[in-house]
Amino acid sequence: MLKQAKGNIVILTGAGISKESGLSTFRDPDGIWAEVNIDEVATPEGFSHNPAKVHEFYNARRERLLSGNVLPNSAHFALARLEAQWNASVLVITQNVDNLHEKAGTRNILHMHGELTKARCTTCGIVLIWRKALSRNDICGSCTSTGSLRPHVVWFGENPLNMHKIQTALKDAAVFVSIGTSGHVYPAASFISQLKSQKEVMTVELNLEPSANAPLFEYSTYGEATKIVPAFVHGLLESQ
Ligand code: APR
């Protein structure tokens, strides 16, 4: 398979790539959505109804991410190596709001669902780096309004970020790799069918188990990301 791989690589990642770094996924039996009510903490309605509860949910995840105990794993590092050594472009499109791809050295990255380490002002729209707890008492550093800051995370019912750049990248992709995502959330889950109908492109799924979209992928390998992703990247780099 890997012998034919050449050209631009687009990689879609989900929570599964960060699981072995100690971050929970969403839909596994021990996942985040088994612990909290999505409507209460991951929708605009939930935020307007009880902002303190939503801030508490993201503050706990941000604190854990920045605690020093959550580090990139060998799958994140393998993708950074691929970007550095591949003879065409490598773009990571991540659904994750953690910063582990960047900490592993990935530079060419688009976050579809926002980032835990950023806050956005609902008054002036500015996006700020935010690495501490966020609350209604915080003041926007740009427009100085109080209580207008929210997590810069995309909630259900909101538009994902960077979609124009993502569509452009998908059009130029020669290889599409989906890693650690269950394929349940759109529009990320639609990329594979878009690519299948669009043009000749090598499609690969690397996941712990077959995702909802598994039948659409040309190639697949199942197992833990820290094992199958470095092996896959090694094979790609050896083949060029
Ligand atoms: N290695 C590889 N894959 C793994 C591992 C692992 N160690 N552990 C779990 N997985 C796989 C699971 O089998 C599952 O298919 O990762 C996937 C995680 O799926 P979800 O929990 O649904 O996470 P994700 O697909 O990223 O969710 C997409 O949904 O709730 C929203 O905004 C949230 O970005 C998230 C989006």
Question: How does pLDDT run across 163-194, given as a tens digit for each residue?
Answer: 999 999 999 999 999 999 999 999 999 999 99
**Which of 113, 152, 164, 234 is flagged as catalytic?**
113
Low-confidence ranges of the chain (pLDDT < 50): none
* Residue 18, ligand 1, Cβ within 6 A: no
Q: Which residues of 142-154 are buried (b: 16+ CB within 10 A; e: fewer)?
A: eeeeeebbbbbbb
Which residue stretches of 27-130 are H helix? 38-41, 44-49, 51-65, 74-85, 100-104
Query: Please, are residues 191 and 169 in contact by the beta-carbon 8 Å criterion?
Result: no
pTM: 0.97
**Whats the size of the chain, residue-wise?**
240
Active-site residue, 234 included: no
For residue 186, which amino acid is it?
Answer: Y
